[in-house]
Amino acid sequence: MSSLSGGNQQKVIVARELSRPLEALVASQPTRGLDVGSIEYVHREIVRVRDEGHAVIIVSSELDEVMALGDRVAVMFQGRITGVVDPSTSREDVGLLMAGSTPSGSR
């Protein structure tokens, strides 16, 4: 795979992993380095795996990705979970949790 670009390497890895029988899927930065079309494909496949009843854990620094794909979102600050929220939670409240603070409505 060394002759492939980083994005193409990522696509090969995602395809390989999603072609195997799964009980659970843990994906760290699943769309890093991918073009928009490939990102949409990966997102569809992640949702497909979830809809088949498998556990899916996504670890990503892309907040939009996490909020779009998650049924629940665990927010961390300094290695600790500061909250588990619904993906409809406001960006402001998620930002406060990311900074280690408590959202004003939770006090």
Domain identity same for 62 and 76: no
Alpha-carbon gap, residue 95 to 83, rounded angstroms: 11
Reported as a single tens digit per residue, the pLDDT across 48-61 is 999 999 999 999 98
**What stretches in the chain show pLDDT beneath 70?**
1-2, 105-107
Residues whose CB falls within 8 Å of the CB of residue 36, separated by 6 or more in sequence, listed in order? none
- According to the model, what pLDDT value does residue 102 have? 84
Q: How many domains does the chain have?
A: 2
Domain identity same for 36 and 83: no
> What is the torsional sign of CA 58, 44, 86, 51?
negative
Domain identity same for 79 and 58: no
**Average of per-residue pLDDT values in the chain:** 88
Domain identity same for 36 and 62: yes
Q: Any idea what the Cα angle at residue 93 is, between residues 82 and 43, rounded to 5°? A: 85
Domain identity same for 63 and 88: no
Domain identity same for 38 and 90: no
The domain of 94 spans 72-107
Q: Are 97 and 75 in contact (CB under 8 A)?
A: yes
